[in-house]
Amino acid sequence: MSKSKIRPPRQAMPLQDAQERVKNFEEVALGYTEEQALIEASRCLACKKPLCVDGCPVDVDIPGFIKLIQEKNYSSALAKIKEKNNLPGICGRVCPQESQCEKLCVLSKKDKPVAIGRLERFGADWISTVTQPAEKVVSSGKKVAIVGSGPAGLTAAADLAMLGHKVIVMEALHTPGGVLVYGIPEFRLPKSIVQQEIESIKRLGVEIQTNMVVGKINTIDELLAGGYDAVFVGTGAGLPYFMNIPGENYNGVYSANEFLTRTNLMKGYLFPDYLTPIRTGRKVAVIGAGNVAMDSARTALRLGAAESTIVYRRSEKEMPAREEEIEHAREEGVQFRLLTSPVEIVGDENGWVKALVCQRYELGEPDESGRRSPIPIPGSEYEMEMDTVIMAIGQGPNPLVSQTTPDLAVNRWGNIVAEEESGKTSKPGVFAGGDIVTGAATVILAMGAGKKAARAIHNYLLHE
């Protein structure tokens, strides 16, 4: 490459206008045009030792697929991504690339990094209408049960199917996808994309059974005794946390899980065409500042709230949400009440929320998470008028599987104990990964865990 050549700037993602999009559930980020994708792809230096790949939890050959985009060989680009990642349309949209692949891109030292995530999405979207025939693999004769059809389970399922194993995924809800379907809103991740990528995993031979609550309809022990050679548990962070402050049972208080599930999985935003109701008041407070909190605050505006406010006890710098999500929320009019945390929810005589009593905080010394710890300021309590409060302070592990599997070790928070590199648990033949092991994290980390577990399960099945 000639040094005199001027590198084009990082291509901006075309967005739906903030004033417009806050009134609909259509996707916010519209995706690169072919022209933009080719310009962006041309920025890649094709490093001999690509650092970006080190930042990818599932080891996608990033320079490889970008080169194929440069050559306009889009179907091969997608195939290259899919060697490692069976959910490219999803990852291209929701991965925190800025703290993974793009963070390590050499360009980021002097310029902005290559927009790897946007190119991944381009590759996935460009070809998504094309049906790719599944490659025939030789059957191993082994059968694996996957509990949970979220990112961890789907990734493990796809990898195991490609290795020739019979894979049955068991999903508790009526639609597969886990958090991709019930949690992440349509405007950030269209459900048609999730469905397409799940269809492509099914074409690998994976069978998905919905309405199957493992721990209720059957147990892990019964699966192992009943013909399954191994089990992967990827049941996610399906237990909402509340704050244990007075007033949390008033009407108008939701967990973020409930608020988002009603809206996304049950399509409450289309009520009454879809019959599951969702009610957003005029003034909505969302407690917490992670991605789930941003999703909730932005959803509230789309459902018609006049004001939607993030209430967070630390400062802007500590907010765990992706910068892009915070920026989009701000553009849409979400307000931020930082260094503030609720101490009580006040209700009216009919049991509806009418106000939130908050306390101000200041930042002290860094705590074990490395972030400066929030310290309440005595006597700083004040009241804010609110009619809806959404708790987005995190989720714990759902206990249905561990409760019914006595020899499956869990830690004191209820997370399944599993080896990081293999997903191996205390129980022979049982592997686990994703949020059920790590606590609530990201889609891509769960996928990484699913991938490692698939490799370990494959080895286990060969040497069993």
Cβ distance to other proteins smaller for residue 32 or 182: 182
Q: Least separation, in Å, of the C-beta of 213 and other proteins?
A: 6
Cβ distance to other proteins smaller for residue 66 or 180: 180
Check: CB of residue 95 under 8 Å from CB of residue 62: no
Q: Least separation, in Å, of the C-beta of 376 and other proteins?
A: 23
Cβ distance to other proteins smaller for residue 132 or 210: 210
Q: Least separation, in Å, of the C-beta of 176 and other proteins?
A: 12
CA 454 to chain centre: 20
Cβ distance to other proteins smaller for residue 392 or 437: 392
Short-list 152, 173, 159, 174, CA closest to 206: 159
Cβ distance to other proteins smaller for residue 215 or 423: 215
Q: Least separation, in Å, of the C-beta of 238 and other proteins?
A: 4
- Distances 316 to 50, 105, 115 between C-alpha atoms, Å: 32, 26, 25
Q: Least separation, in Å, of the C-beta of 154 and other proteins?
A: 18
Q: What is the DSSP letter of 106?
A: G
Cβ distance to other proteins smaller for residue 134 or 239: 239
Strands annotated E in 234-339: 239-240, 253-255, 283-287, 307-311, 335-337
Check: CB of residue 357 under 8 Å from CB of residue 392: no
User: CA 104, CA 62: separation in Å to the nearest integer?
Assistant: 12
Binding site for other proteins (CB under 8 A): 172-174, 182, 210-213, 216-218, 238-240, 242, 244, 248-251, 254-255, 257-258, 261-262, 266-267, 271-277, 279, 350-351, 398-400
Cβ distance to other proteins smaller for residue 182 or 460: 182
Bond into 272 cis (ω within 30):
yes
**Residue 414 tokens, joined:** 């209820």
Q: Least separation, in Å, of the C-beta of 112 and other proteins?
A: 39
Amino acid at 239: L
Q: Least separation, in Å, of the C-beta of 127 and other proteins?
A: 28
Q: What is the DSSP letter of 71?
A: T
Number of neighbours of residue 225 by Cβ within 10 angstroms? 9
Phi-psi region of 37 (alpha: psi -120 to 50; beta: other; left: phi over 0): alpha
**Residue 31 tokens, joined:** 């995706």
Rg of the chain (C-alpha set)? 23
